[in-house]
Structure 1
Amino acid sequence: MKVVALVSGGKDSCYAMMKCIQYGHEIVALANLLPVDDSVDELDSYMYQTVGHQIIVGYAECMNVPLFRRRIRGSSRHQKLSYQMTLDDEVEDMFVLLSEVKRQIPSITAVSSGAIASDYQRLRVESICSRLGLVSLAFLWKQDQTLLLQEMIANGIKAILVKVAAIGLDPSKHLGKDLAFMEPYLLKLKEKYGSNVCGEGGEYETMTLDCPLFTNASIVLDECQVVLHSPDSIAPVGVLHPSTFHLEKKGNPDSNSLEKESSLVSEVLGDGPNTSNSTRQRDTGIVDLVEHTSNRVHISRTEKHNTFSICCWLEDSRESSTGLKEDLEAVLSELESQLLKHGFNWQNVLYIHLYISDMGEFAVANETYVKFITQEKCPFGVPSRSTIELPLAQAGLGKAYVEVLVANDESKRVLHVQSISCWAPSCIGPYSQATLHKSVLHMAGQLGLDPPTMNLRNEGAIAELNQALTNSEAIAESFNRSISSSAILFVVFCSARTKQSERNQLHEKFVTFLDLAKSSRRVSNVIDPMFIYILVPDLPKRALVEVKPVLYVEDDTETEDETRQDHSGDYNFGGYKPENWHQGCVQKRVVDGKMCVTVLSISAEVMRKLQEASGEEEEQQLEKVSRFCVYLLNKTLSENSFSWQDTTSLRIHLSTSLGVSVERLSDTFASAFRELNEMSDGVKVDGSKEPIFNVVPVLGAGNTSATLDNIITCELFALRS
C-alpha cells in the first residue's frame, strides 16, 4: 500500500515507518501537526507530541518525501475514549490534514502511526481513517516495550530525549541525551518505579535525528535550550527547545548543510468539517425493511432477563430465486424489527453469527451487513462476529441465516482494533475482536492470519490452527486472561477441504498448544475446556480452520447468588430412566454457580440404542431423539441448580447426513419443549411464542477433529442473573 505517515519527530513514528517498509508498503508522504505559534514547544494535547516540532521541516529533505503540515486549531473537546466527530476538536485538524494529503495524492490508501499502548490515540486515528476510507497501520501496537526499545536502537534509530516528566529523570541531566545511552537507565527506572521504558506513560519524549529512512541527510542540532516547565522536586518537567539546526547531507562530504525550507513542504489550511452536515445518510434512521413473504421467515428467541439470542433464517424459496443480498437484507431487516419490538437496537447486540450459503459471495454479504450494523449505531462498541459457510440449501433454507446474542444493558466491554499491527488480526469494519459481558468473553472467530500482513498461513491446517490460537491468546491478554486457563469452550470450524490426515492431528496439536501455554505461564485454577469440532463447506479467505473461543472472566465485584432452586422433579420427562451410557453423551462446565455450559453429543450409535430401547418405528426416531436431548439438557440444568429461564442460547448443530431439514428438526424439538412445559407444573420453560433454540445445519460435528460423526450436537449456555 502507499502510505502517508503521521510523524511527530519521535522515535515511535519513525520506527513505525521502518516497519511499514519491512512489510512491503511505500511511504509516499509525511503528515505533521504543530502549534499555531512556532515559539511554543508543547501544547496541552491528549493527541499530539509537539516538542521539537521546529525541526520536523527537515524530515522532507532527509527522506526526499513531501511533508504536509497543519497548525492545530482545535483542542481536546471530546475526551471520551471512543471518538465521535466534534466541532473544534484537535482530532478534526488531523482530518483536514489527511483529507488534503489524499486529495493531492489519491493513490494513498493507508496511514501509519506510532501508537504503542494508547487506545485514546489509536481509536482517533482509526476514526479518521474510517471517515476517509483509509487503512490504519500501527505496527508497534501492543508490542513489549522493552524489546521494542531494543529493536529501535539496534535498527538504527538515533534519537535524543526532548522532554522528561517522571521520577528519576532530571531535565538538567537527561535532556539531549542519546536514546541508546539512556537505555540502561530507563530499564533501571522500570524495575524501580514501574515506568514505561518507551515513555508510553508520558515519562519522556524523543526527537529522531537520524535513521535508515533518512537517506539524503541527517539532522544536527546547533543550539538548544533547556526550558523547565515544572521544578517539582520528585518529577520535574522540562523540554529541550531547538534554537538552530542544520541538515548534514549523506554521501557528499563537500556539502555539510542544506536549506531547511523546501518545495517538498506545504502547509494545509482550511476549516474543519461542519458537524451539522456531516452525518452520512447510511447512519441515520433504520434501513428500509425489505419486503418478504412472512412465512419465509423463521424466528427463534430465548426468553432471558439479561441476555438472550434471536435467530432468523429463511425457508428455501427456489421459485423466487432471490440472491444472497436479498436474503440477507430480509434476515437483517427482520432482526432489526425484532430488536426494536423488544426495546433494543444494534448497540445491545454482543455477538453475531453470520451464516451464508456461498463463501464466494463474502464481499456481497459484507456490503449488505455494513448497511445495517455500523459504528455509529453502536456507540458502546460493535458486536464481535464469526462468518461461516453452511450447507443451507441442503437443509432446506435460504441463502442467509443470522443469529444475534443480545444484552438488555449497556455494560459490555468491546475490544475493536481496526489498525493493522503485529499484535493480532485487525477488524476493519463494524465487527470487533471480542466482547465481554457478564463474565463471559465472546471472541470473534479467529483465522490463521499473520497479523502484520493479514495473509493466511499457507503451510496447512496445523499451521493455521497454531496461528489462530496465537491470535486468540493475544486478544485474551488484552482482558488479562489466557485461553489456556480461562476458556470454557472452543468451537473449531474445519473446512471440508482440510485433508483427513491433518484433521486427525488437529485436536492433538490443539491440546499440546494449550498445555505448553499453561506450563509457560504456570497458571493455577485452570478451567478444563470443552471442544466442538464442526465440519463446514468453507471459511473466509478459503481458510482451513477457524477457532471461536468462549472465556470465563471472573468479575471481582460479583456476589454469589444463593437463591437456587432444585428442579429434580422434571427428570422424568420423556419417560427416561438414567443409564450409565447417558453420561457419555454429556459434557458440562459449571463455574461458581454462575454459568453452566453443556455440550450434548448424539451419534449414530446413540440413536441406535434409543431405537432398540423404545422399539418405535424408524419414522418416529427423530421425535425420540429430540425428546432425549431435551431430557438430558433439562437434567443437567436441574442437577446444577439452573433453570431454562437462565438460558442464554441453545444451538443445535444438525448434520446433513441425517437427511432431515432444519424445519423438521425444529418442529420435533419444539414439540419436546411443549411436552416439558406441560410437565412443569405451570412453570414455563420458555415464555415466548418462538422456540427457545436455533438449529444450525452442518456437514458434521464431534468432540475431536478426527471423528466428526455426531448426528446432533447441542450447545447450551445458561447464565445466572
Structure 2
Amino acid sequence: MKFAALISGGKDSFFNVLHCLANDHELVCLANLHPPPSDSHEMDSFMYQTVGFDVVPYYAECTGKPLYRQVIKGSSNNQKLEYEQTQDDETEDLYELLKVVKEHHPDVEAISVGAILSSYQRTRVEDVCSRLGLTALAYLWQRDQEELMGEMVDSDMEARLIKVAAIGLNDSHLGKTLQEMYPVLKNLNRKFGVHVCGEGGEFESLVFDAPFFTKGKLQIVDKQIVRHTNDEIWYLKLKVQLVEKSSGGKCNVVQPPLLHDPFDQISLQPLIKKTESLSHTPHTKVWEQNRGKNYGRLRFNNITSTEPTLEGQVTHIFSQLERFLSESKLHPANIQSSSLLVSDMSNFAQINKIYQTFFTKPLPPARVCVETNLPKECFAQLSVEILDDLHFKKGLHVQGRSYWAPSNIGPYSQSIADTRTYLAHISGQIPLIPRDMTPCKDVTTQSVLALQHFEHVKEVIGSPTNIFICCFVTSPATVPLVTETYRQYIGLQRDRDHVKELVTVVVGALPRGVDVEWGGITVNEAVGDYEEAQIAFGKPLEYKEDRHYKIFAGPDLYREEFPESYEFVPVEQVFDSEAREQPYAVVELV
C-alpha cells in the first residue's frame, strides 16, 4: 500500500517506517503535529512527542518527500482508553492533518505509526484511520522492548537522546546515540524496571539519519541543555543542519519469525488422516430461544427467525435482540460476546453488513463466527452474553497491522472481559499472517499460528489462564493435529493451570477459507477464585440454576433433559481431548 508516515522525530516513528518499507509498502509523504509557535519546546500532550519539534521540517529535505504539518490546537479532553470523536480533543487535530494528506494524495491507503505499548495512542490513530478509510501500520506493536531496541541499534538508523526523565538518567546522557545507551538502559531495566524503549516516558529521542534519508542527514550545529522545573528532567535545545551523505542505507530491519517462543517449539508430525467426506446433514430441529442471568451477566441464546429471506431473517434477529436489551434497560455496548452461526459462509458479507450497524460504539463484542449445518431455511443463529453494567467492561480492539496478531477491522473486538469476575471472552482466532492479513496455507502451521494469536490476545488483556477452549475445524482429518497442538501447548505452559479438556468440533466452513479456528474463555487467576469449565462428553451434567451451558452436538441429537438456559451449537461432529468422536459435549460455565 502507499502510506504516509506519522512522524514525531523520535526513533519509534522512523523505525516503523523501515518496517513498512520492508513489508513492501511505498512511502508517499510525511505528517507531523506540533505545538503552537508561542509554546516552549514541549507541551503537555497525551498523544504526541513535542520536544525537538522544530527539527521536523528538515526531514522533508532528508527524504525528498513532502511534509504536512498541523498545529496541536486541542487538548486531552477525552482521556478514556477507547476513543470516541470529541470536540476540541487533540485527536481531532490528527484527523484534520490526515484529511489534508488524503486530499493531496488520494492514493494513500495507510498510515505508519510507531506505537509499541500505548493503547491510548493506538486507539486514537485507529479511530482517525477508520473515519478516513485508512489502515494503520504499527509493526512495533507489542514487540519485546529489549529485543526491539537491539534491532534499532543494529540498524542503519542514527538516533540520539534529547530528553531524559527517569532514575539513573541525567544530563550526561543527552546527545548520546542508541548504541551508546543500549547497555545503560538494559542495566537500568534490570535494576529499576526502566523501559528499554522509553515506553514509560523515561526518555525521548531524535533521529539524525535513516536508510530512507536519500537526500542528506542531520548534524548538530549547536546544543543547549535545559533543566525542567523538576530537577530530574533535562532536555536538549538543538540547532541542526542538513549535510550530504553518499547514499541511502540498506533497509536492514529484521522481521520477526511467524511463530514466536514458545510456539516455535511445538513439533508436529503429519497427523492428517484420511477420512470419508462429510454429508453436511442439516439439523432438522430449531432449538428454542432462551434467556438466563447470573453473576451480573445476561444471556439470550439461539435467536433465529422464520422470515423468508436472508436479509429479513438477520434484521429480525437483531430486532429481537434490540427489544430484549430495551426491556432490560441495556444497550448493544453491553454485549460482551456473540456466537454467530451461518448456514453458508458465502452469505457472510451480507450478514455482517447488517451486524455492524448494530455495534457503533468502541469495543464491539468478542465474536465467534462459523458456517455450520443449521436447520433448513435457517440462514443464521445468534447467541449473546451481556454485561449488566458497562463500568465493568474492559476490552481489546486492535485494528492496525502488526507482527503481533491479526487486526480486527470488523465489528468485533479481540477480547472483552468482565472486571468483576476477570473472565474474558476471546474472539475466534484464525491463522492469518498478521503483517499482511493473508491466510496461512499450511494446515499444520495454521493449527499453531491460530493458537499463538489466541495466546497473544490473552497476554495483552491480562487474562492468561484458559478455563474453556474450543477448536473449530473444517474436516475430521484435522482433529488429531489440533489435539496434539493443544497437548504440547499445555506442556509448554507449565506455569499456567489451563483447563486440560479440549472440545474440537467439525463445522462446514470458517472465515477466509481457513481450516482451523481457536476460541474460548480465559481468566486472570492471580486476582481471585475461579472455576474451570466442566465438560461432559456424551453424557448429561447435573444442571445448576446459576450456570450457563453450551451444548455442541451433531444432527442426530434430540435430547430433552437440557436445562432451561443453554446455548446450542449445531455442528457436524464432536471430538474429545483424545481425538475420539463423541455424540455431543456439554460445557458448564459460571
Per the normalisation by structure 2, the TM-score is 0.88
Residue 693 of structure 1 and its aligned partner are, at CA, apart by 2.1
Matched to 2:365, the amino acid is: P
Q: Residue 228 of structure 2: SS of its match in structure 1?
A: strand
Distance 1:305 1:506 in 2: 33
Which residues in structure 2 correspond to 1:320-335 (within 5 Å)? 320=308, 322-323=309-310, 325-335=311-321
Is 2:524 aligned against 1:553? Answer: yes
Indicate the residue corresponding to 2:251 in structure 1: none
Q: 1 CA distance for matches of 2:20 and 2:453?
A: 21
Alignment of 1:350-429 (within 5 A): 350-375=336-361, 381-392=363-374, 395-410=375-390, 411-429=392-410
Contact 1:165/1:237 (<8 A) preserved = yes
The 5 A counterparts of 1:18-29 are 18-29=18-29
Aligned partners of 1:207, 1:389: CA distance in 2, in Å?
A: 51
1:555-609 superposed Cα distances (whole Å, 9 cap, x missing partner):
63x5xxxxxxxxxxxxxxxxxxxxxxxxxxxxxxxxx5x536222222xxxxxxx
Residue in structure 1 matched with residue 259 of structure 2 by the alignment = none
3-state SS, counterpart of residue 444 of structure 1: strand
Distance 1:695 1:251, change over 3 A: closer
Paired residues for 1:416-565 under 5 Å: 416-437=397-418, 438-460=421-443, 462-482=444-464, 486-496=465-475, 500=477, 502-518=478-494, 523=495, 526-554=497-525, 556=527
Contact 2:222 2:238 in 1 (8 A): yes
Contact conserved, 2:129 with 2:135, CA < 8 A, in 1? yes
The answer for the alignment partner of 1:53 in structure 2 is 53
Paired residue secondary structure (2:378):
strand
Query: 8 Å contact 2:33–2:70 — kept in the other structure?
Result: yes
| 1:391 aligned counterpart, secondary structure | coil
Q: SS state of the match for residue 334, structure 1? A: helix
Quote the residue 2:123 is aligned against. 123
Structure 1 CA distance for aligned equivalents of residues 158 and 229 of structure 2:
27
SS of equivalent to 1:142:
coil
CA contact (8 A) 1:114 1:139 kept: yes
2:585 equivalent in structure 1: 713
Three-state SS of the structure 2 residue aligned to 1:445 is strand
SS of equivalent to 1:431: coil
TM superposition shift of 1:705: 7.2
Residue by residue, what CA displacement relative to the aligned partner does 1:458-479 show, whole Å, maximum 9, x if unpaired? Answer: 112x211110111111112124
1:547 Cα shift?
0.6
Judge conservation of contact 2:479–2:504 (CA < 8 Å) in 1: no
> Deviation of residue 38 (structure 1)?
6.9
Extract unaligned runs of 5+ from structure 2: 249-285
1:168 aligns with 2:177: no
Say whether the 8 Å CA contact 1:655–1:701 is kept in structure 2: yes
Tell me the TM-score normalised to structure 1 length. 0.73
In proportion to residue count, which structure has more helix? Answer: 1
Partner of 2:193: 194
For residue 292 of structure 2, what is the aligned residue in structure 1? 302
Residue 207 (1) aligns with residue 206 (2): yes
Contact 1:531 1:704 in 2 (8 A): yes
State percent identity of aligned pairs.
Answer: 34
The answer on whether the counterparts of 1:58 and 1:247 sit within 8 Å (CA) in structure 2 is: no
Amino acid at match of 1:654: A
Distance of aligned partners of 1:531 and 1:332 in 2 relative to their CA distance in 1, 3 Å threshold:
same
Quickly say closer, same or farther: Cα 1:81–1:596, change in 2 above 3 A: closer
1:400 and 1:374 map into 2 onto residues whose CA distance is 21
Paired AA for residue 217 in structure 1:
G
> Following the alignment from structure 2 to structure 1, what is the Cα–Cα distance between the partners of residues 240 and 5?
25
* Paired residue secondary structure (1:68): strand
Letter in 2 for 1:401: Q
Matched AA of 1:301: R
- The answer on 1:650 being equivalent to 2:522 is no
Alignment gaps of 5+ in structure 1: 253-295, 559-591, 603-628, 638-642, 674-684, 686-690
The 1-side partners of 2:230 and 2:301 are apart by 62
Distance 1:527 1:220 in 2: 55
- Judging changes above 3 Å, is the alpha-carbon distance between structure 1 residues 479 and 433 closer, same or farther for their aligned structure 2 residues? same
Aligned position for 2:283: none
What root-mean-square deviation, in Å, do the aligned CA atoms of Structure 1 and Structure 2 show?
2.2
Aligned counterpart for 1:595 among listed residues 531, 540, 546:
531
Residue 385 (structure 1) shift:
0.7
Question: Contact 2:62–2:242 (CA<8 Å) still a contact in 1?
Answer: no
Match of 2:254 in 1: none
Matched residue, 2:258: none
Deviations for 1:242-285, whole angstroms, at most 9, x for unmatched residues?
23422424349xxxxxxxxxxxxxxxxxxxxxxxxxxxxxxxxx
The one-letter code matched in structure 2 to 1:434 is S
Provide the rounded CA distance (Å) in 2 between the counterparts of 1:85 and 1:247.
42
1:332–1:297 distance in 2 versus 1, CA, 3 Å: farther
AA partner of residue 492 (structure 1): C
Q: 1:16 to 1:251 in 2, by over 3 A?
A: closer
1:311-350 C-alpha deviation (Å, 9 max, x unpaired): 2443566xx3x12x33222212211111111222212211
The answer as to 2:571 corresponding to 1:702 is: no
The question of whether the paired residues in 1 share the 8 Å contact of 2:218 and 2:240 is answered with no
Q: Equivalents in 1 of 2:206, 2:411: separation in Å?
A: 36
Query: Partner of 2:260 in structure 1?
Result: none
The correspondence of residues 609-624 of structure 1 with structure 2, limited to 5 A, is none
Displacement after TM superposition at 1:80 (Å)? 2.2
What are the equivalent positions in structure 2 for 1:252-267 lying under 5 Å apart?
none
Maintained 8 Å contact 1:6/1:30? yes
Pick from 551, 565, 568: which aligns with 1:692?
565
Q: 1:244 to 1:489 in 2, by over 3 A?
A: closer
Instruction: Work out whether residues 221 and 239 of structure 2, in 8 Å CA contact, stay in contact via their aligned partners in 1.
Output: yes
Partner of 2:140: 140
- What is aligned with 1:111? 111
Q: Secondary structure at the match of 1:534?
A: strand
Determine if contact 1:355/1:389 at 8 Å carries over to the other structure: yes
Residue 231 of structure 1 deviates from its aligned partner by 5.5
Take 1:52 and 1:407, find their aligned partners in 2: how far apart are those partners?
46
Whole-angstrom distance in 2 between the partners of 1:244 and 1:306: 60
The structure having more radius of gyration, on CA atoms, is 1
- SS for the counterpart of 2:126 is helix
The CA distance in 2 between the partners of 1:297 and 1:475, in whole Å, is 32
**Could you say what secondary structure the match of 2:379 adopts?**
strand
Q: Displacement, 1:130? A: 1.8
Per-residue deviation, residues 41-80 of structure 1 (Å, max 9, x unmatched): 1111111111112221121222221110111111222222
1:554–1:505: structure 2 CA closer, same or farther, 3 Å change rule?
A: closer
1:47 partner letter: M
- 1:152 to partner: Cα distance: 0.8
| Alpha-carbon distance in structure 1 between the residues aligned to 2:568 and 2:77 | 48
Q: What residue identity is the alignment partner of 1:554?
A: E
Distance 1:94 1:158 in 2: 27
Partner of 2:234: 238
Distance 1:38 1:112, change over 3 A: farther
Q: Write out per-residue CA displacement over residues 497-538 of structure 1, whole angstroms, 9 at most, x where no aligned residue.
A: x7x2x43332123211221232xxxx16x2442111100010
User: Does the C-alpha gap of structure 1 residues 305 and 488 become closer, same or farther in structure 2, counting only changes over 3 Å?
Assistant: closer
On the 8 A contact 1:6/1:32 being kept in 2, the answer is: yes
Could you say what secondary structure the match of 1:230 adopts?
Answer: coil
Q: Distance in 2 between matches of 1:488 and 1:75?
A: 42
Would the aligned equivalents of 2:337 and 2:384 in 1 still touch at CA under 8 Å?
A: yes
Counterpart for residue 257 of structure 2: none
Q: 1:397 to 1:169 in 2, by over 3 A?
A: same
- After superposing the two structures, state which structure 1 stretch, 530-539 or 35-44, moved more: 35-44
Q: Give the Cα–Cα distance (whole angstroms) in 2 for the partners of residues 465 and 434 of structure 1.
A: 20
